[in-house]
Structure 1
Amino acid sequence: MMRVFLVRHALAHERSRTNWPDDSLRPLTATGKRKFRKVARGLARLLPKSARILTSPFVRARETAGILAAVHGGRFVDCQELAHGEQPRAVFALLRLRSGPAVVLVGHEPDLGLFLAAAIGADGARITFKKGGAACIEFAGRVGAGRATLRWMMTPQILRGLRKKSSTG
């Protein structure tokens, strides 16, 4: 069994050809970092300690993964398969290569929504992640399209609220 946690990068600066002619270099805003630290504390409560964090190589995703790794304890690995514009089949291939019981994928929209729809067999469905939002899917056997079960999907607001909950409820 493999659990996959999908996380959209936190709030980034607006696109600007002047400031970031290469969109892959666009960073998180100070507000995005601050809010995602709270999200990460809630999300870390849901992640197994063994979870591996894989991220898009884009700066905003790497910064998001770095915050999560600092809170969760661990490191993250850049994966081109998670770059903005990659197709779900590239993500399925990545998961087959980097197998483990729990994997966190930090990426972009609409890519995460397209992957989630393909994974749960809902191709064509319009699934969107808020910035800093997350979902968890589970593959009981082989990783592939239509083989996952959606366990949960949460907004950043819900995840921030989880950081305050005690372990007993």
Structure 2
Amino acid sequence: MKMNLILWRHAEAEAQTDDMARWLTSRGQKQAARMANWLAERLPTEARIIASQAVRARQTAAALNPNHLVDARLNPGASVADYLAVAQWPDAGGTVVLVGHQPSLGKLAASLLAGFEAEWSVKKGGIWWLQYRLRDGASQTVLKTILTPEQV
């Protein structure tokens, strides 16, 4: 069984006091569009796209699919366990894109790749594409790619 998990940090957002209401800047909109175009060429049509409730995350996800799902368990401050539960990693199979926030995304990447939570950083608008697979009876997490909007 294989499962693809794409961790996508929301693109650049405006600064304001209500964290959940922050909109993407014009630069952030361009970042989201560039990454969405790259992902659209590579994702299967049945990929699940799930964003936090924060406006900036929903706008980022909408660049890829306006009909994305929204889950409060991905909101700022969420735990690695919350993210894993939303993704249903690794049991769901298929492809899941989680659009969320730092430091949760970095901690999740560290947990899946290194086996412990660490303060790894996912750049704004960037993705980390991970894959779960079984190889010779052992489960593995493979890093498929790390990509930032500036690289697209």
Q: TM-score range by the shorter chain?
A: 0.7 to 0.9
- Alignment identity in percent? 34
Q: Quote the Cα distance in structure 1 between the aligned partners of 2:117 and 2:33.
A: 33
Q: Distance in 2 between matches of 1:149 and 1:55?
A: 23
Asked if the contact 1:27/1:59 (under 8 Å) is kept, the reply is yes
Helix, strand or coil for the counterpart of 1:54? strand
Alignment coverage as a number of residue pairs: 146
Return 5+ residue gaps in structure 1 as ranges: 161-169
1:148, distance to aligned residue in structure 2 (A):
2.3
2:129–2:146 contact (8 Å) kept in structure 1: yes
Looking at structure 2, the residues matched to 32 and 54 of structure 1 have their Cα atoms a distance apart, in angstroms, of 18
Q: Tell me the residue number matched to 1:79.
A: 71
In the superposition, the TM-score normalised over structure 1's length comes to 0.78
Question: Aligned equivalents of 2:79 and 2:58: distance in 1?
Answer: 19
Shift of 1:100: 4.0
- Determine the structure 1 residue equivalent to 2:116: 123
Deviation by residue 1:3-33 (Cα, 9 ceiling, x = unmatched): 011101011002x23xxxx210111112211
The AA in structure 2 aligned to 1:28 is L
C-alpha RMSD of the superposition:
2.0
Instruction: Render the CA deviation track for 1:85-117: whole Å, top value 9, x for unaligned.
Output: 011011112222892400000001111000111
Q: In the alignment, which residue of structure 2 is the partner of 1:5?
A: 6
Q: TM-score, normalised by structure 2?
A: 0.86
CA distance in 1, matches of 2:14, 2:99: 17
Equivalent position amino acid for 1:4 in 2? L
Residue among 57, 63, 75 paired with 1:67: 63
Moved over 3 A (4+): none
1:83 is aligned with what amino acid? N
> Which of 102, 107, 129 is equivalent to 2:100?
107
Q: Which of the two has greater strand per residue?
A: 2
Contact 1:119 1:147 survives alignment (8 Å): no
Partners in 2 of 1:114 and 1:2 — Cα distance?
A: 19
Structure 2 portions without partners, runs of 5+: none
Q: Bigger radius of gyration, 1 or 2?
A: 1
Matched, 1:38 2:43: no
